[in-house]
A and B are shown apart, each in its own frame.
Chain A
Amino acid sequence: MATNERERAVLSLKGVTKRIGGKTIVEGLGFELFPGEIVGLLGPNGAGKTTTIRMIVGLIGMTEGDISIGGHSIRSEFTKAIRHVGGIIENPEFYPYMTGLDNLKQYRRMTDGITDERFQEVIRLVGLEDALNKRVKAYSLGMRQRLGIAQALLHKPSLLILDEPTNGLDPAGIREMRDYLKEIASKEGIAILISSHLLSEIEQICGRVVVIQNGKLVTVRDIGEQQNKAERSQIEVVVRATPLTVARQALDRLDMVQVTRVFEERNELLLSLKDEDIPLVVKALGEHDAALYRIEEAKSTLEEEFLKWTGGNRIA
């Protein structure tokens, strides 16, 4: 099982360490990405996200450890490993005096076997048909971002690495990009690694997050829908009811319900209970003549969890 998993991994980091001078920037980092999954790389400023991403694509060397992509080491078989990778590292930078089309052709020439169909398909996909004959100099950041995605997808990579992919996109563009990334992940089985400081972004798109701090792995967590299902047994809900004291007494009597917090100023109680016990809560409140205004699920956001993991450091 373990070896199968390892072979299946598109990207695998093992004990990756980077030291510059006497300073350790990344230490013993290890995680894996499998086909079709979208993983977020999170960490506060200076946690080593950018260094990690640059090591994955071979822009900077590592002091210890190894990274393999599609089963090839980025250290010893660079061209074989990098062939599977498409990426945007920080801002997408192009030759400003050339048109978008000429820029894209540059990258087309660097990989054999990109057909005209593929070329046109990618252009259509990122919605750049109209802007292609303009010089990149005249592009907005959003347009450059799209062109960046286009160059990353031309050679049908199996691993897509995106540093701040929605940076500079308008809300419609962000949504489109998100839908598109989800689609290529599920349809073409591309694994996507995204680093972003927009936690809500990560939350909406990623199935898993890798959190690093001070160059070390803090946690690898499943998030989103999968987590909800897994943790269905015990959920947290906020109940607003008056009078609050009456409501509290009523609920304290229920064994399966725990009142974990009281917000007096808002007349709210935070409860921990099983989904199927919610009708009992409503019934108990009714029996004790407490007026119920609302019941809602208290989802802890990724941001709150992130702050928990990283000890409240500021977010990158």
Chain B
Amino acid sequence: MLNHGSGFGKLVVNEWLKLSKKRSFFIAFLIMAGFVALLAYLTTIAPSGETYTALRFAAECMEIRGLGSIMLYIVIISTSGIVAREHSMGTIKFLMIRAHGRSRILASKYVVALLYMLALAVFTLAVTLAAGWVVFGFGASEVSWADLFLQALYTLVYMFVYTTFVFMIGVLTRSAGATIGIGMFAVVLQSILNMVLSRYAFAKYLLFTNTDLSVYATNTAPIKGMTLTFSVIILSVYVILFLAASFVTFKRRDIA
């Protein structure tokens, strides 16, 4: 399978197996299903008087303020060890004395971190739809499928940027614990910094202010002068910097 480019696909398979053969692998998915069930229950007993449909329920769940940040926390925890644990377990030695360049090995790890993120998001989306269908049904709704997918896309962008950030931290620190700590801290810091710094113009160049693209859907830029294009460019620059730091460090590092 996937045997192009002299075995990159096989490297990705290897990395995926390293992640999925852990006993804790399915727990992440169970937790997401649990949260969806809880939200569905809370929504039915909430005395809001609003009518929910499956699509509206799913769209709200997929928001960053919904299950987006919880999903991100799980991705941070699950992927924090993808590079760091190879170092701490010592398995990095066998991994690096194969006929594959270091960049290719790191790339396969990054691809799997993203695949994991995607798998968790798709799973969560499917479960929210299923739960929404069971609890609320697919009635006439002001929320369309397009709205739902756009919402999921915003959350994916947000998760993608942080997953890349956490991937870099894992390469730099070589410690899964430190990676989880720094990753979580950065995510929590985002909401605080956004409030404190939003009055300063320079804040629009920060990563934190740009990760939530959903703000542009309602035409309210977080800081004057910010647009969707602006944010996408800023995010791209950060992602490229994170990846450059990761790959340069990983390629040059002495493995003692």
Contacts and interface: CB of A to CB of B under 8 A. Distances in A.
Contact of A94 (B10, B91, B252): B91
B97 A106 contact: no
Contact of A109 (B6, B14, B255): B14
A109 B93 CA distance: 16
B254 interface: yes
A60 B255 contact: yes
A93 B256 contact: no
Interface in B82-113: 89-91, 93-94, 96-101
A58 interface: yes
A106 B98 CA distance: 11
Given A89-B93, A97-B23, A110-B11, A54 B255 contact: yes
Nearest to B85: A95
A98 B98 CA distance: 20
A110 B98 CA distance: 7
Contacts of B18: 95, 98, 106
A310 interface: no
Contact of A97 (B13, B21, B90, B98): B21
Contacts of A112: 6-7
B255 to A, nearest CB: 4
Grouping DSSP codes into helix (H, G, I), strand (E, B) and loop, the B interface class, with mixed when no group exceeds half, is: loop
Interface in B200-225: none
A90 interface: yes
Interface in B52-109: 89-91, 93-94, 96-101
B14 A60 contact: no
B22 interface: yes
Contact of A79 (B21, B93, B100, B255): B100
B77 to A, nearest CB: 16
Contact of B21 (A54, A102, A110, A151): A102
Contacts of B98: 82, 107, 110-111
A62 to B, nearest CB: 10
Interface in B1-42: 6-7, 10-11, 13-14, 17-18, 21-23
Grouping DSSP codes into helix (H, G, I), strand (E, B) and loop, the A interface class, with mixed when no group exceeds half, is: loop
Given A54-B255, A60-B256, A97-B22, A83 B99 contact: yes
Contacts of A48: none
A82 B17 contact: no
A127 B94 CA distance: 20
Nearest to B255: A59
Given A106-B17, A110-B10, A93 B91 contact: yes
A61 interface: yes
B89 A93 contact: yes
Contact of B90 (A54, A93, A106, A111): A93
Contacts of A111: 98-99
A54 B256 contact: yes
Contacts of B100: 79, 110
A57 interface: yes
Nearest to B98: A110
Nearest to A151: B94
A57 B96 CA distance: 9
B97 A85 contact: yes
B107 to A, nearest CB: 14
Interface string A68-111: 00000000001110110101011111111110001000110111
Contacts of A54: 254-256
Given A93-B90, A109-B14, A82 B97 contact: yes
A90 B90 CA distance: 9
Nearest to B13: A109
Contacts of B96: 57-59
Interface of A: 54, 57-61, 78-80, 82-83, 85, 87, 89-98, 102, 106-107, 109-112, 151
28 contacts: A54-B255, A58-B96, A59-B93, A59-B96, A59-B254, A59-B256, A61-B252, A79-B99, A79-B100, A83-B99, A90-B93, A91-B90, A94-B91, A95-B89, A96-B89, A97-B21, A97-B23, A98-B17, A98-B18, A106-B18, A109-B13, A110-B14, A110-B98, A110-B99, A110-B100, A111-B99, A112-B7, A151-B94
User: Which 5 interchain pairs have the tightest Cβ spacing?
Assistant: A93-B90, A60-B254, A109-B10, A83-B99, A59-B255
